[in-house]
Chain A
Protein backbone atom coordinates (compact mmCIF):
# COMPACT_ATOMS: atom_id res chain seq x y z
CA UNK A 1 0.00 0.00 0.00
CA UNK A 2 1.35 3.39 -0.97
CA UNK A 3 1.03 5.97 1.79
CA UNK A 4 0.82 9.54 0.53
CA UNK A 5 1.83 10.91 3.86
CA UNK A 6 1.45 10.40 7.54
CA UNK A 7 0.45 12.43 10.56
CA UNK A 8 0.23 12.14 14.32
CA UNK A 9 -2.50 14.28 15.89
CA UNK A 10 -1.70 17.78 14.60
CA UNK A 11 1.79 17.06 13.25
CA UNK A 12 2.57 15.93 9.74
CA UNK A 13 0.50 15.59 6.59
CA UNK A 14 -2.77 16.85 8.04
CA UNK A 15 -4.99 19.85 7.35
CA UNK A 16 -6.22 21.57 10.54
CA UNK A 17 -8.71 24.35 11.07
CA UNK A 18 -9.65 26.04 14.36
CA UNK A 19 -12.99 27.60 15.25
CA UNK A 20 -14.62 29.05 18.32
CA UNK A 21 -17.91 30.49 19.48
CA UNK A 22 -19.07 31.78 22.86
CA UNK A 23 -18.96 28.44 24.64
CA UNK A 24 -16.96 25.97 22.54
CA UNK A 25 -13.76 25.39 20.62
CA UNK A 26 -13.81 23.27 17.49
CA UNK A 27 -10.94 21.65 15.64
CA UNK A 28 -11.27 20.02 12.23
CA UNK A 29 -8.65 17.59 10.91
CA UNK A 30 -8.33 16.02 7.49
CA UNK A 31 -5.54 13.63 6.60
CA UNK A 32 -4.57 11.30 3.75
CA UNK A 33 -2.25 8.37 4.07
CA UNK A 34 -1.58 7.30 7.64
CA UNK A 35 -3.19 9.19 10.52
CA UNK A 36 -2.39 8.30 14.12
CA UNK A 37 -4.47 9.81 16.88
CA UNK A 38 -3.32 9.50 20.49
CA UNK A 39 -6.38 11.29 21.88
CA UNK A 40 -8.52 9.23 24.23
CA UNK A 41 -11.61 10.18 22.20
CA UNK A 42 -10.66 8.81 18.79
CA UNK A 43 -7.39 7.02 19.47
CA UNK A 44 -6.24 4.76 16.69
CA UNK A 45 -4.55 4.50 13.31
CA UNK A 46 -6.28 5.21 10.01
CA UNK A 47 -4.70 4.11 6.74
CA UNK A 48 -6.54 5.95 4.01
CA UNK A 49 -8.58 9.12 4.45
CA UNK A 50 -9.50 10.44 7.88
CA UNK A 51 -11.67 13.39 8.88
CA UNK A 52 -12.26 14.53 12.45
CA UNK A 53 -14.28 17.32 14.01
CA UNK A 54 -13.85 17.71 17.78
CA UNK A 55 -15.83 19.99 20.06
CA UNK A 56 -14.27 21.17 23.32
CA UNK A 57 -16.03 23.15 26.07
CA UNK A 58 -14.76 26.52 27.15
CA UNK A 59 -14.48 26.07 30.88
CA UNK A 60 -14.70 29.25 32.80
CA UNK A 61 -16.98 31.47 34.76
CA UNK A 62 -20.35 31.04 33.17
CA UNK A 63 -23.23 32.91 34.78
CA UNK A 64 -25.99 30.95 36.42
CA UNK A 65 -28.97 30.96 34.07
CA UNK A 66 -32.62 30.27 34.64
CA UNK A 67 -34.25 27.41 32.73
CA UNK A 68 -35.87 29.88 30.32
CA UNK A 69 -32.52 31.49 29.63
CA UNK A 70 -30.95 28.05 29.09
CA UNK A 71 -33.65 27.17 26.60
CA UNK A 72 -33.15 30.50 24.82
CA UNK A 73 -29.44 29.70 24.48
CA UNK A 74 -30.28 26.21 23.24
CA UNK A 75 -32.56 27.58 20.53
CA UNK A 76 -30.30 30.40 19.40
CA UNK A 77 -27.85 29.98 16.54
CA UNK A 78 -24.24 30.53 17.52
CA UNK A 79 -22.08 29.61 14.55
CA UNK A 80 -18.38 29.35 15.22
CA UNK A 81 -15.87 31.56 13.42
CA UNK A 82 -12.45 30.47 12.26
CA UNK A 83 -9.47 31.61 14.30
CA UNK A 84 -5.71 31.39 14.16
CA UNK A 85 -4.08 28.13 15.30
CA UNK A 86 -2.42 28.08 18.68
CA UNK A 87 -4.89 30.51 20.22
CA UNK A 88 -5.56 28.04 23.01
CA UNK A 89 -3.96 25.02 24.59
CA UNK A 90 -5.96 21.79 24.49
CA UNK A 91 -3.17 19.51 25.64
CA UNK A 92 -5.14 17.84 28.45
CA UNK A 93 -8.65 18.67 27.31
CA UNK A 94 -11.29 16.10 26.45
CA UNK A 95 -13.80 16.80 23.71
CA UNK A 96 -17.49 16.66 24.59
CA UNK A 97 -18.41 15.63 21.06
CA UNK A 98 -16.69 14.48 17.91
CA UNK A 99 -17.33 13.26 14.40
CA UNK A 100 -15.15 10.67 12.67
CA UNK A 101 -15.25 9.87 8.99
CA UNK A 102 -12.87 7.20 7.77
CA UNK A 103 -12.27 5.54 4.44
CA UNK A 104 -9.74 2.73 4.41
CA UNK A 105 -8.44 0.53 7.18
CA UNK A 106 -8.80 1.72 10.73
CA UNK A 107 -7.36 0.28 13.92
CA UNK A 108 -9.42 1.72 16.78
CA UNK A 109 -7.83 1.91 20.25
CA UNK A 110 -9.93 4.06 22.56
CA UNK A 111 -12.48 3.53 25.37
CA UNK A 112 -15.42 3.81 22.99
CA UNK A 113 -14.11 1.35 20.43
CA UNK A 114 -11.29 -1.18 20.24
CA UNK A 115 -11.04 -3.15 17.05
CA UNK A 116 -10.48 -2.94 13.33
CA UNK A 117 -12.60 -1.81 10.43
CA UNK A 118 -12.10 -1.78 6.68
CA UNK A 119 -14.31 0.21 4.36
CA UNK A 120 -16.25 3.40 4.97
CA UNK A 121 -17.49 4.51 8.35
CA UNK A 122 -18.95 7.56 10.06
CA UNK A 123 -19.37 8.07 13.80
CA UNK A 124 -21.02 10.91 15.67
CA UNK A 125 -20.36 10.80 19.40
CA UNK A 126 -21.44 12.98 22.30
CA UNK A 127 -19.59 11.97 25.47
CA UNK A 128 -19.99 13.87 28.71
CA UNK A 129 -18.42 13.29 32.13
CA UNK A 130 -20.67 11.75 34.75
CA UNK A 131 -20.53 14.94 36.85
CA UNK A 132 -21.68 17.15 33.95
CA UNK A 133 -24.32 19.58 35.20
CA UNK A 134 -25.77 21.91 32.61
CA UNK A 135 -26.84 21.90 29.01
CA UNK A 136 -25.31 20.80 25.70
CA UNK A 137 -26.80 21.36 22.27
CA UNK A 138 -25.15 19.78 19.24
CA UNK A 139 -26.18 20.00 15.61
CA UNK A 140 -24.36 18.36 12.69
CA UNK A 141 -25.07 18.15 8.96
CA UNK A 142 -23.22 16.04 6.42
CA UNK A 143 -22.32 19.24 4.52
CA UNK A 144 -19.97 19.96 7.42
CA UNK A 145 -22.18 22.42 9.31
CA UNK A 146 -21.59 22.08 13.03
CA UNK A 147 -23.23 24.04 15.83
CA UNK A 148 -22.51 23.48 19.49
CA UNK A 149 -23.56 25.32 22.62
CA UNK A 150 -22.43 24.23 26.08
CA UNK A 151 -23.46 25.80 29.34
CA UNK A 152 -22.17 24.24 32.56
CA UNK A 153 -23.71 25.24 35.87
CA UNK A 154 -21.09 27.02 38.01
CA UNK A 155 -19.70 24.77 40.72
CA UNK A 156 -19.28 26.59 43.99
CA UNK A 157 -16.75 25.17 46.46
Chain B
Protein backbone atom coordinates (compact mmCIF):
# COMPACT_ATOMS: atom_id res chain seq x y z
CA UNK B 1 0.00 0.00 0.00
CA UNK B 2 2.82 2.43 0.93
CA UNK B 3 4.65 1.67 -2.32
CA UNK B 4 1.47 2.35 -4.25
CA UNK B 5 1.05 5.75 -2.56
CA UNK B 6 4.67 6.63 -3.32
CA UNK B 7 4.22 5.60 -6.98
CA UNK B 8 1.08 7.74 -7.31
CA UNK B 9 2.85 10.73 -5.74
CA UNK B 10 5.77 10.32 -8.12
CA UNK B 11 3.41 10.11 -11.10
CA UNK B 12 1.59 13.28 -9.97
CA UNK B 13 4.87 15.14 -9.46
CA UNK B 14 6.03 14.08 -12.91
CA UNK B 15 2.82 15.37 -14.49
CA UNK B 16 3.15 18.69 -12.68
CA UNK B 17 6.80 18.95 -13.74
CA UNK B 18 5.85 18.30 -17.37
CA UNK B 19 3.21 21.01 -17.18
CA UNK B 20 5.65 23.54 -15.72
CA UNK B 21 8.63 22.59 -17.87
CA UNK B 22 8.69 23.32 -21.58
CA UNK B 23 7.95 20.77 -24.25
CA UNK B 24 10.41 20.18 -27.10
CA UNK B 25 11.64 23.38 -28.75
CA UNK B 26 10.49 24.07 -32.30
CA UNK B 27 12.48 27.27 -32.76
CA UNK B 28 15.96 28.43 -31.95
CA UNK B 29 15.53 30.87 -29.08
CA UNK B 30 17.74 33.07 -26.93
CA UNK B 31 15.89 34.75 -24.07
CA UNK B 32 16.84 37.21 -21.36
CA UNK B 33 14.14 38.30 -18.96
CA UNK B 34 13.91 40.31 -15.76
CA UNK B 35 10.88 40.58 -13.53
CA UNK B 36 9.96 42.26 -10.28
CA UNK B 37 6.66 41.29 -8.76
CA UNK B 38 4.65 38.17 -9.38
CA UNK B 39 5.27 35.98 -12.40
CA UNK B 40 3.57 32.65 -13.05
CA UNK B 41 3.97 30.97 -16.40
CA UNK B 42 4.14 27.70 -18.27
CA UNK B 43 5.60 27.49 -21.73
CA UNK B 44 5.60 25.32 -24.80
CA UNK B 45 9.01 26.64 -25.81
CA UNK B 46 10.88 27.88 -22.80
CA UNK B 47 11.00 27.43 -19.10
CA UNK B 48 8.12 27.56 -16.66
CA UNK B 49 8.28 30.12 -13.90
CA UNK B 50 6.89 30.82 -10.48
CA UNK B 51 8.46 34.00 -9.13
CA UNK B 52 7.51 36.27 -6.26
CA UNK B 53 10.02 39.09 -5.97
CA UNK B 54 12.98 39.78 -8.21
CA UNK B 55 14.28 37.35 -10.81
CA UNK B 56 16.53 37.39 -13.85
CA UNK B 57 16.68 34.50 -16.27
CA UNK B 58 18.79 33.84 -19.36
CA UNK B 59 18.46 30.71 -21.45
CA UNK B 60 18.81 29.29 -24.94
CA UNK B 61 16.84 26.61 -26.75
CA UNK B 62 18.37 24.73 -29.67
CA UNK B 63 15.90 22.50 -31.52
CA UNK B 64 16.51 19.38 -33.51
CA UNK B 65 16.52 19.87 -37.28
CA UNK B 66 13.83 17.22 -37.60
CA UNK B 67 12.37 14.12 -36.05
CA UNK B 68 15.24 11.93 -34.91
CA UNK B 69 17.86 14.31 -36.31
CA UNK B 70 20.67 16.20 -34.64
CA UNK B 71 20.34 19.66 -33.19
CA UNK B 72 20.80 22.71 -35.42
CA UNK B 73 24.36 23.57 -36.44
CA UNK B 74 25.18 26.81 -34.67
CA UNK B 75 27.99 29.18 -33.90
CA UNK B 76 26.89 31.96 -31.62
CA UNK B 77 28.42 34.60 -29.39
CA UNK B 78 26.53 36.58 -26.81
CA UNK B 79 27.07 39.35 -24.31
CA UNK B 80 24.53 40.41 -21.71
CA UNK B 81 25.21 43.14 -19.19
CA UNK B 82 22.42 43.81 -16.70
CA UNK B 83 22.25 45.95 -13.61
CA UNK B 84 19.02 46.33 -11.67
CA UNK B 85 15.74 46.52 -13.51
CA UNK B 86 16.51 49.14 -16.13
CA UNK B 87 20.11 48.96 -17.25
CA UNK B 88 20.66 46.24 -19.83
CA UNK B 89 22.91 45.70 -22.83
CA UNK B 90 22.29 42.71 -25.08
CA UNK B 91 24.57 41.80 -27.99
CA UNK B 92 24.20 38.55 -29.84
CA UNK B 93 25.63 36.97 -32.97
CA UNK B 94 24.08 33.78 -34.40
CA UNK B 95 25.10 31.85 -37.45
CA UNK B 96 23.76 28.53 -38.65
CA UNK B 97 24.33 26.09 -41.48
CA UNK B 98 27.48 26.18 -43.56
CA UNK B 99 28.50 29.62 -42.27
CA UNK B 100 28.40 28.32 -38.70
CA UNK B 101 30.70 25.42 -39.56
CA UNK B 102 33.26 27.68 -41.24
CA UNK B 103 33.18 30.25 -38.45
CA UNK B 104 33.63 27.55 -35.81
CA UNK B 105 36.75 26.27 -37.58
CA UNK B 106 38.44 29.69 -37.70
CA UNK B 107 39.88 30.97 -34.38
CA UNK B 108 40.75 34.31 -36.02
CA UNK B 109 37.15 34.82 -37.15
CA UNK B 110 35.81 33.87 -33.73
CA UNK B 111 38.19 36.34 -32.13
CA UNK B 112 37.05 39.17 -34.43
CA UNK B 113 33.41 38.40 -33.73
CA UNK B 114 34.06 38.18 -30.02
CA UNK B 115 35.65 41.61 -30.13
CA UNK B 116 32.64 43.00 -32.01
CA UNK B 117 30.14 41.50 -29.58
CA UNK B 118 31.91 41.58 -26.24
CA UNK B 119 34.32 44.47 -26.56
CA UNK B 120 37.03 45.09 -23.98
CA UNK B 121 35.26 46.16 -20.80
CA UNK B 122 32.66 44.73 -18.48
CA UNK B 123 29.76 46.17 -20.46
CA UNK B 124 29.02 44.84 -23.92
CA UNK B 125 30.49 46.67 -26.88
CA UNK B 126 28.15 49.50 -27.93
A and B form one complex = yes
Does any Cβ of A come within 8 Å of B107's Cβ? no
Contact A124 B39 (CB under 8 A): no
For residue A142, which residues in chain B have a CB less than 8 angstroms away from its CB?
86-89
Nearest opposing residue in chain A for B49, CB measure:
A115
CB distance from B104 to the nearest CB of A (A): 10
Is there a chain B Cβ closer than 8 Å to A112's Cβ?
Answer: yes
Query: 1/0 per position for A103-120, CB-CB distance to B under 8 A?
Result: 000001001111111111
Closest chain A CB from B44 CB (angstroms): 5
Size class of B's contact patch?
Answer: 35 or more
Does residue A22 face the partner (Cβ distance < 8 Å to B)?
no
How far, in whole Å, are A145 and B125 apart by their CA atoms in the complex?
A: 13
- Supposing A115-B49, A142-B87 touch, asked if A126 and B92 sit within 8 A by C-beta, the answer is yes
**Secondary structure of the B side of the interface?**
strand
Write the nearest CB–CB distance from B120 to chain A, whole angstroms: 15
Q: How far is the CB of A68 from chain B (nearest CB, A)?
A: 8
Does the CB pair A117–B38 fall under 8 Å? yes
**Contact A121–B34 (Cβ < 8 Å):** yes
Q: Which of A71, A108, A135 has the most CB of B within 10 A?
A: A71
Which residues of B lie under 8 Å from residue A136 when comparing CB positions?
92-95
Contact across chains for A124 and B113 when beta carbons are under 8 A apart: no
Question: Would you call A113 and B46 a contact (CB within 8 A)?
Answer: yes
Task: Say yes or no for A132: interface residue by CB 8 A criterion.
Answer: yes
The docked-state distance in angstroms from the alpha carbon of A112 to that of B113 is 29
Given contacts A111-B44, A137-B93, contact A120 B112 (CB under 8 A): no
Q: A117-B39, A117-B41, A119-B36 are in contact. Are A112 and B29 (CB under 8 A)?
A: yes
Q: Mark B29-62, 1 if CB is under 8 A from A, else 0.
A: 1111111111111111110010000000000000
Q: Chain A residues with Cβ under 8 A from B43's Cβ? A: 111-114
> Chain A's nearest CB lies how many Å from the CB of B67?
11
B33 lies within 8 A of A70 (CB): no
Bound: A113/B15 CA distance, A: 19
Whether B97 and A138, one on each chain, are in contact in the complex, defined by CB atoms closer than 8 angstroms, is no
In the complex the two chains form, is B85's CB within 8 Å of A132's CB?
A: no
Instruction: Please judge, given known A-B contacts A120-B85, A121-B35, A141-B126, whether A127 and B29 are in contact too, CB under 8 Å.
Output: yes
B90 lies within 8 A of A138 (CB) = yes
Q: Chain B residues near A2 (CB, 8 Å)?
A: none
In the complex the two chains form, what is the Cα distance from A135 to B93 in whole Å? Answer: 7
Which residues of A come within 8 Å of B, CB atoms?
67-68, 70-71, 74-75, 108, 111-142, 145, 153
